[in-house]
C-alpha cells in the first residue's frame, strides 16, 4: 500500500487566498484525521471522520477552516481566507479502527506558508 | 479540558546514555496511550499501551503505563545518534473514542 498521500507537499500563498489541502487515506481505513503542527502548539487535532462522517471538529480554529470527506478515499481541508498565523505543517492520518484507534498512519504532511 | 504533558521538552545526551521520557495526562474516557517518534517528517508509531504495569519492549526502547497515577514513561537504553528525534506521547480519549490528543513532544539529541 502507498500509505497516506497528501498534496501539495509545500504551498506558499499570500494572505487572503484560498488554500485546499488534499488527502488520500490508506485503503480500507475507517477513520481519517487532520492535524496541524507548529512549534508553539505542537500537534493539534483539527477534525476527524469515521466512515466519512465528521465526528469531532472542535479543534477547527474558526469558520475560515472547513473539511470534507466526500468518499472513503478522499478528504480536503480548506482555508478561506488564509492568514499568516495559519502557517504550519498540516498532517492527514488514517486508522483502520473506528472505535479504538490503535496506530495512526500519517502522511508526509503539507507545509503551508502564508505571507 | 483534555491535556497531555510531556517532560522534559528537550534533552541532550551522549551515545550510550540511558534516557527516560515522561508523559502525564488528564483526559476523559481514557482508552489508550501511544508513543511516536518524529524525525524530519511524519510521526512513526512506537508503542500502544492500554493496561497498567505491562511493559512494552522493542529493542532498546521500552514503555510502561500507570493508569492510577496517569502517566507513562519511555525508556531508551544505550542511546545512538539515530535516536535523535522528537518523541511524542498521545492519548486516545473521548466518549466515542477516536480522539488522539498529543503532547508537546520531547526533543532528544544524542551526541556522538
Per-residue pLDDT of chain A (115 residues; tens, 9 = 90+): 689 999 999 999 999 999 999 999 999 998 999 999 998 888 999 999 989 999 889 889 889 999 999 999 999 999 999 999 999 999 999 998 765 667 889 999 999 999 9
Do the Cβ atoms of A109 and A37 come closer than 8 Å?
yes
Q: List CB contacts (< 8 A) between B45 and chain A.
A: 103-105
Query: Do A101 and B92 lie within an 8 Å CB cutoff?
Result: yes
Task: Please state, in angstroms and rounded to a whole number, the distance separating the CA atoms of residues B46 and B43.
Answer: 9
Query: What pLDDT digit, counting tens, does each position of B35-71 carry?
Result: 999 998 899 999 999 988 888 999 999 999 999 999 9
Is-contact B79 B18, C-beta < 8 A?
A: yes
The pLDDT score that the predictor gives to residue A101 is: 67
**pLDDT, averaged across chain B:** 92
DSSP per residue, B5-71: EEE-SEEEEETT--EEEEEEEE-SS--EEEEEEESSSS-EEEEEE-STTPPEEETTEEEEEETTTTE
CB nearest to B102's CB, from A42, A100, A105: A42
pLDDT at A1: 61
B43 CB within 8 Å of a chain A CB: yes
Task: Give A-chain residues touching B99 at CB under 8 angstroms.
Answer: 45, 48, 56
* CB-based contact A101 B103, cutoff 8 Å: no
| pLDDT confidence of residue A100 | 62
- For residue A92, give Cα distances in angstroms to A7, A74, B42: 10, 11, 10
Listed by number, the residues of chain A in 40-59 with a beta carbon closer than 8 Å to a beta carbon of chain B are 42-45, 48, 50, 55-56
* B80, pLDDT greater than 70: yes
Amino acid at each position: 500500500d502507498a500509505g497516506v498521500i497528501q498534496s501539495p507537499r509545500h504551498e506558499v500563498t499570500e494572505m487572503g487566498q484560498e488554500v485546499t489541502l488534499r488527502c488520500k487515506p490508506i485503503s480500507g481505513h475507517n477513520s481519517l484525521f487532520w492535524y496541524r503542527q507548529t512549534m508553539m502548539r505542537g500537534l493539534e487535532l483539527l477534525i476527524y471522520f469515521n466512515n466519512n462522517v465528521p465526528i469531532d471538529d472542535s479543534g477547527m480554529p474558526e469558520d475560515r477552516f472547513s473539511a470534507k470527506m466526500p468518499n472513503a478515499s478522499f478528504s480536503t481541508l480548506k482555508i478561506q481566507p488564509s492568514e499568516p498565523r495559519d502557517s504550519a505543517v498540516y498532517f492527514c492520518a488514517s486508522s483502520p479502527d473506528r472505535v479504538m484507534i490503535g496506530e495512526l498512519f500519517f502522511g508526509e504532511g503539507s507545509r503551508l506558508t502564508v505571507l | 479540558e483534555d491535556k497531555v504533558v510531556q517532560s522534559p521538552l528537550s534533552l541532550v545526551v551522549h551515545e550510550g546514555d540511558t534516557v527516560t521520557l515522561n508523559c502525564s495526562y488528564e483526559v476523559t474516557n481514557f482508552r489508550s496511550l501511544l508513543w511516536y517518534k518524529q524525525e524530519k517528517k511524519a510521526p512513526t508509531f512506537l508503542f500502544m499501551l492500554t493496561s497498567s504495569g505491562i511493559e512494552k519492549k522493542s529493542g532498546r526502547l521500552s514503555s510502561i503505563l500507570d493508569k492510577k497515577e496517569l502517566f507513562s514513561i519511555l525508556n531508551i537504553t544505550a542511546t545512538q545518534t539515530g535516536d535523535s528525534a522528537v518523541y511524542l506521547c498521545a492519548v486516545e480519549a473521548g466518549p466515542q473514542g477516536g480522539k488522539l490528543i498529543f503532547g508537546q513532544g520531547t526533543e532528544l539529541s544524542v551526541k556522538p
